Structure 1
Amino acid sequence: MSETLSETASETPKLSVVVHGPDVQDHLSALLDSLDAHPLTGVEVIVAAVGDWAREAAERHTPAFTVLPLPDGARDPAARSAGAARASGRWLHFVHAKDGLPPGAPRAIAEHAAGLPDTVDVLLLDHVRSTWRASGLPSPDGPRLARAGRAALAPDDHPALLEVTPLLGNRAVRAGFWRAHERLLTTDDEPFAAYAALLLADRVACLPHPAYEDRRLRPESLPPPTPEQRYALVERFETLLGLAAGRPAAHAVLYDLMIRECLHAFARSGMPDDVGREFFHRASLAARRHRPDGHRHPAGLEGVRRSLLERDACAEYRALRAAHRTRRRARSAVRTGRHRAGTLLRTLQYRRALAGPVDPHLAVFSAYWARGVACNPAAIAARLAELAPGVHPVWVVTAAGAALLPPGTDHVVPGTRRYWEVLARAKYLVNNVNFPDAVVKRPGTVHLQTHHGTPLKRMGLDQMPYPAAARGLDFQALLERVDRWDFSVSANSHSTRMWQRAYPSRHVSLDHGYPRNDVFYTAGAADVRAVRERLGIAPGHRAVLYAPTHRDYEAGWTPRLDLAALADALGEETILLVRAHYFYEGTAAPHASPPAGPRRTGRIIDVSSYDPVEELCLAADALVTDYSSIMFDYANLDRPIVIHADDWETYRTTRGVYFDLMAEAPGPVARDQAELTEILTTDAWRDERAAKARAAFRRRFCEYDDGRAAERVVRRVFLGEDERTLPPVLPVEERTPAPSPEEATAS
């Protein structure tokens, strides 16, 4: 960690950077890492961290930063006030936890502020903008700030500065000025505070240098605005115009801004009709009430200004709304047309089914792109049959997979008439991936995304910087699928944070555990013995499950171990259970594609086609894997895990990862086959050091898995129970996993 506070205790910092707010979509860590990466002479960093996630992210940077933990739900004004009260700098720069700072920004602000006279209250900064699509986009403010120059200005002499984007982050404020006006500036309406700071300032200076990053979150990931929040835009400008009373130039600029912002919000924000009418009415009244005498709007605004000044704005309203809907339909047709070309029959069938009522007793389940009854959906369906037998499950399964279904399983094959009918009518749609793009999210339906692993590798939007992982992905289409989710199942807080970051939408996280992992706490000794007998593992033999993952940077599967040599080295008493990733089924073991069940070659058993994989975990004394998410599930059993990471640097660089597995592995790490053999032929695979690493890993990544995840999900989603009435998650140290093979044999 670099030194970020180089001032001595007796010196007053020139600048206090006040980072505030919750860790929205996991952006805070990157912000704090950037602040910690460079020496910041004359700068202190105060982190008013809202909630546990923000506190944990901030505390990783102590003692360099001062951390003020605030409870979940603390609002931004309270966080800013808490940070400002603790700050000792002459200048304050408020930085929201979701936003960022370009390299060198704090230094540039501190150095420029140090040369300003005490009469300057606000230092205006240029900024860049970032969205999920792109980062570092220039703002429109740079030329405006450059024209103003760097000298101290009286705001009334330069009212055009009010047109600078209203962010608190693109203006530093003198600490004394902030405290003198804190009551007015401490508001949930950040743009109001940004405008008011300029109206209240005696002098303003400008720094035409990008010193802030405004990260604009997807609107679809934020709670929809209430009618009162929409009307607040009009109230904001009416209050600001009151502050500008007696200052004609500032009043005129604010009036133009009010007209522009109100029309923009009205035409583009998709307000419901009744809300839109009321908003337009309030904006029209404000336009008439505050119109300056003889005032003319800038070119292009005169027509829309007249529409706001008309007492009967209904016709203008309808015309604007109709034009807006037409534009949206045109964009939608262009975006979806390519998906529907050549599928007229399917579309007509689906549309007819959509015209019918939603069936509240019908649920559609799918797993791994319709491969069969598996994973979290299978565990949920099984518990659903017990707790809500009135809900009928229908599985989506390929024609090839249908022959392997349990007897009596109601199913549909993708693309068939009944497939589209059940997708259109079902109230519940459950999947561990996504349903096709053509599926419509009907009102009253519930889409449950269960996922199929805890993420080590980058997922969703986080794949965008990694060409090998992003190849062929349409991220806009992905987000449209994600926007259908109502619920997202999570096994641990790490996953919850990463899903919010990788899939930003309004889905509710179900921090209930992975239903497929319930068996690791409900299985008994007889279950362990039975699966080992099915696999042909003799009592007293050690079974090592080897389950590697796939590589995005490779065109096909590349053997990473000489399995025959490894089996010889481990001896007669060890059996290797080899589980290829489902992308490469049948290619991991040293023989051709296997039949539908296990195939044995000496002490190697190819279990690539064996389902469910949870039974293989129950049968294994130890797990060897590389970067597969199976390690997170297997850790529930509290059995030894060995990581074989021969290409970690390449994998990390080409795919991207969320944490350093080499530093936080659940057991010993082997970088080649010789090291792996050494670990497995000594006690290193299960010694005290390995157990300590595994315990830390379990606490972090088995957080919600306690054997009752499926029950919690069914009761919350299908029975509509309040989350507070569900069975609480049992702490890790109070859980009893399924017995190990050794324990099962002895019982």
Structure 2
Amino acid sequence: MPETPVLSVVVHGPNTQDHLTGLLDSLAAHPLAGTEVIVAAVGDWARETAERHTPAFQVLPLPDGTGDAAARAAGAARAAGRWLHFVHAKDGLPAGAPRTIAERAAELPEPVDVLLVDHVRSTWRASGLPSPDGTLLARAGRADLALDDCVPLLRLTPLLGNRVLRADFWRAHRGRLDTDDEPFAAYAALLLAGRVACLPHIAFEDRRLRPQSLPPVTPEQRYALVDRYETLLDLARDRPAAHAVLYDLMVRDCLRTFARAGLPAPVAREFFRRASLAALRRRPEGHHRPAGLDGIRRQLLEEGAYGRYRALQAANRARRTARSAVRTQGQRVGARLRDHRYRRALGRPVDPALAVFSAYWNRGVACNPAAIAAELARLAPWIRPVWVVTPRNAALLPPGTDHVLPGTRRYWEVLATAKYLVNNVNFPDAVVKRPDAVHVQTHHGTPLKRMGLDQMPFPAAARGLDFRALLERIDKWDYSLSANSHTTRMWERAYPSRFVSLDYGYPRNDVYYTAGAADVRAVRDRLGVAPGRRAVLYAPTHRDYEAGWTPRLDLAALADRLGEGTVLLVRGHYFYDGAASPLTGLRRAGRVVDVSPYEPVEELCLAADALVTDYSSIMFDYANLDRPIVVYADDWETYRTTRGVYFDLMAEPPGRVARTQEELTEILATDAWRDEGAAKARAAFRRRFCEYDDGRAAERVVRRVFLGEDEGALPPVLPLGERTPAPRPEEAV
């Protein structure tokens, strides 16, 4: 018979912003003596993540949408340990924490029901911030005690993660503890416990998600704060010391919520009324208010003096504003002058027939925005598209393209009044998100490299980025496009906000399923690729640790080895647009075709028999064509270390992998680039990353965003096996 574990760590919840991955990886990396791990995984992403750790961890799959209380209960029902540590999937456990808890729990006598531990706090900005609880835990010491002998412990941060519960205690009081209101359960656990013990050791990480990434808090949830404390005060009715502490906590939290939560006026007034009644009704006999401003606030709350409380707030704000104005007057005057036209335009009504498009920092008509604009012209021609384009690129626009130049009068006018704003990067920070405007973030690739907030630990990638400003920009997004589940999940963790993910595919990839043989022939003719010749597209990505682009291949030698039957189409990354091309000499010698300025890139993919790339997202798009892909990864370790990646491309490539030029030459000079092994790798890659691309992504976007059609009325995504990519060049002859 296996020995009964001392501790059951019950990890529960969805894989919100991919935090569960780090938690389980951390648990798996350290010994778990006397401990079992049960993962009550909510939703497919959590299940898939947890199953990577079987059989070491028990995995209990639960349907998407299962609440925290139900997930905790399901995990606890599977637990065999004498103690239970509930850890939400978004939170963390420091290295060695389960062992430390298990060792402490094993020595506790039977009357102890709750073991209290210290924790750290983490946000999107910082990790490992100390909690305010360490001093309280240290003062309580290591001896077990009754709560009434140390009521200040009620002031510990109300988390279930910093309370380890005896399993029999949990089962006996499950009726009260089994609730989605975690702070209530945390307080109630202390009030119901026979005795408690403390471990002044950091054994839990409380990760605070961005409020802007969570569903908005409803008025009912605000009012529930008062109800929570009223119920807790009922539990402590016959315990004067505990009652006094809970009353103090109730008043403090109600005042903080009223002051800081940004409540709409009707909700604020009703919240204040309910809090006032509770504060007056529940006030302990002989209770004394604190001195100073805090005492005045509490007095006004007890008196229900909503108007006077608001006046006090306004006076305090005015004082702070006056002090700030002296420091920033010069900057504000300049900002007013710069923003005058834009602010005036914001006073005009939103134009429901106006859409502003931009791509790649105003480089022209390209990428997903271009495909959406084209479909918009077909399905909703009454909506006028206006493109934002730099002066340098304006001359390259298709004839008749309505456009504006950044910074001009009309530029600010269209940004202020357009109903729809579509971009594959971000609009400037100064752009205001009007309530009745719709911002669509199309992105421009499937992420292999770290993006958004995930760049913070990588100095080369994070250089020059203002992450606070980035978050303010993403909070303007209404919709975010995705081509596959991987992308949807990574956008959730990299860009934590409330946007709606449109899992429709990338519109720019529609052409890979709608183009015919004539289209393939026409592109190859424009590029000068004769029928029967193999065209290999070489498209490397940008490296944050390099100042400019130098091809990592000896292209002349490669062209010589591959012979006259192969044409190298070489495309430098657009970040190097305008720089002197290192391909000039080779182009003049006729060995390669420099297609760096060629637009759109989708046509280059149609023309190519095969793709050679390193870590560029073009591989995910090109995979839709079901043509061979070769990864040239001579600096994979450096790239992975300096930029960060979301998965190991070397373990899950789209085809053959070369680490040296000699290996690449051998692959391309033989049939290895398109043999059975390469095809098998490509098929697995396509199943994972070509999930939603089927040729109708742009239509789905236009119908959902611009025409307002219901999700169920949109064209369903065609299964991968039923799609027919554009013909290969040899088929198009």
TM-score, shorter chain, exceeding 0.5: yes
Distance 2:390 2:584 in 1: 23
TM-score by length of 2: 0.97
Partner residue of 1:68?
Answer: 60
Distance 1:623 1:589, change over 3 A: farther
Distance 1:554 1:461 in 2: 21
Partner residue of 2:658?
Answer: 670
Contact kept, 8 Å, 1:580 with 1:587, in 2: the verdict is no
Distance 2:79 2:325 in 1: 49
What letter is aligned with 1:280? Answer: F
Paired residue total: 732
The alignment status of 1:261 with 2:253, answered yes or no, reads yes
* Cα shift at 1:330: 8.7
What is the DSSP-based 3-state SS (H/G/I as helix, E as strand, rest coil) of the residue aligned with 2:228? helix
Partner residue of 2:304?
Answer: 311
Partner residue of 1:352?
Answer: 344
- Pairing partner for 1:622 from 576, 601, 610: 610
Partner residue of 1:393?
Answer: 385
Distance 1:718 1:336 in 2: 42
* Cα shift at 1:298: 4.6
Distance 2:43 2:319 in 1: 43
* Cα shift at 1:329: 11
**C-alpha deviations, 1:337-372, integer Å up to 9, x for none?**
96x775554410001100110001100000000000
The alignment status of 1:148 with 2:140, answered yes or no, reads yes
Partner residue of 1:704?
Answer: 692
Partner residue of 1:648?
Answer: 636
**C-alpha deviations, 1:607-647, integer Å up to 9, x for none?**
00000000000000000000000000000000000000111
**C-alpha deviations, 1:47-68, integer Å up to 9, x for none?**
0000000000000101111000
* Cα shift at 1:84: 0.4
Distance 1:728 1:707 in 2: 11
Contact kept, 8 Å, 2:583 with 2:594, in 1: the verdict is no
Distance 1:379 1:609 in 2: 19
Partner residue of 1:202?
Answer: 194
Partner residue of 1:558?
Answer: 550
Contact kept, 8 Å, 2:549 with 2:572, in 1: the verdict is no
Distance 2:490 2:333 in 1: 35
Distance 1:65 1:341, change over 3 A: farther
* Cα shift at 1:323: 4.2
Partner residue of 2:442?
Answer: 450
Listed as ranges, the matches of 1:109-188 within 5 Å are 109-188=101-180
Contact kept, 8 Å, 1:121 with 1:203, in 2: the verdict is yes
Partner residue of 1:38?
Answer: 30
The alignment status of 1:222 with 2:214, answered yes or no, reads yes
Partner residue of 1:634?
Answer: 622
The alignment status of 1:504 with 2:496, answered yes or no, reads yes
Contact kept, 8 Å, 2:300 with 2:308, in 1: the verdict is no
Distance 2:326 2:113 in 1: 51
* Cα shift at 1:583: 1.2
Partner residue of 2:671?
Answer: 683
- Pairing partner for 1:605 from 587, 593, 601: 593
What letter is aligned with 1:454? Answer: T
* Cα shift at 1:502: 0.7
Distance 2:154 2:291 in 1: 18
Contact kept, 8 Å, 2:154 with 2:245, in 1: the verdict is yes
**C-alpha deviations, 1:701-734, integer Å up to 9, x for none?**
1111010100111111111111121111111121
Partner residue of 2:285?
Answer: 293
Same amino acid, percent of matched pairs = 78
The alignment status of 1:717 with 2:705, answered yes or no, reads yes
| Gap runs ≥5 in structure 2 | none
* Cα shift at 1:601: 4.0
Distance 1:37 1:68 in 2: 21
Distance 1:362 1:501, change over 3 A: same
What is the DSSP-based 3-state SS (H/G/I as helix, E as strand, rest coil) of the residue aligned with 1:56? helix
Distance 1:462 1:329, change over 3 A: farther
What letter is aligned with 1:734? Answer: E
- Pairing partner for 1:573 from 559, 565, 569: 565
Partner residue of 1:544?
Answer: 536
Distance 1:100 1:113 in 2: 20
Distance 1:601 1:700 in 2: 41
Distance 1:701 1:647, change over 3 A: same
* Cα shift at 1:588: 8.8
Deviates more, 1:624-633 or 1:581-590: 581-590
Distance 2:646 2:327 in 1: 35
* Cα shift at 1:587: 6.3
Partner residue of 2:403?
Answer: 411
**C-alpha deviations, 1:635-676, integer Å up to 9, x for none?**
000000000011111111111111111101101111111110
* Cα shift at 1:600: 6.2
The alignment status of 1:742 with 2:730, answered yes or no, reads yes
TM-score by length of 1: 0.96
* Cα shift at 1:331: 8.3
Distance 1:591 1:633 in 2: 25
C-alpha RMSD over aligned residues: 1.9
Distance 1:93 1:17 in 2: 5
Contact kept, 8 Å, 1:51 with 1:70, in 2: the verdict is yes
Contact kept, 8 Å, 1:579 with 1:588, in 2: the verdict is no
Distance 1:649 1:213 in 2: 30
Distance 1:441 1:105 in 2: 44
Distance 1:331 1:554, change over 3 A: farther
Distance 1:330 1:526, change over 3 A: farther
What letter is aligned with 2:669? Answer: T
Partner residue of 1:732?
Answer: 720
Distance 1:121 1:631 in 2: 55
* Cα shift at 1:558: 2.4
Contact kept, 8 Å, 1:636 with 1:698, in 2: the verdict is yes
* Cα shift at 1:94: 0.2
Deviates more, 1:690-699 or 1:327-336: 327-336
The alignment status of 1:48 with 2:40, answered yes or no, reads yes
Listed as ranges, the matches of 1:82-93 within 5 Å are 82-93=74-85
Listed as ranges, the matches of 1:465-544 within 5 Å are 465-544=457-536
| Gap runs ≥5 in structure 1 | 1-8
* Cα shift at 1:314: 2.0
**C-alpha deviations, 1:409-455, integer Å up to 9, x for none?**
10000000000000000010000000001000011000000000011
* Cα shift at 1:586: 6.6
Distance 1:476 1:337, change over 3 A: farther
Distance 1:335 1:43 in 2: 56
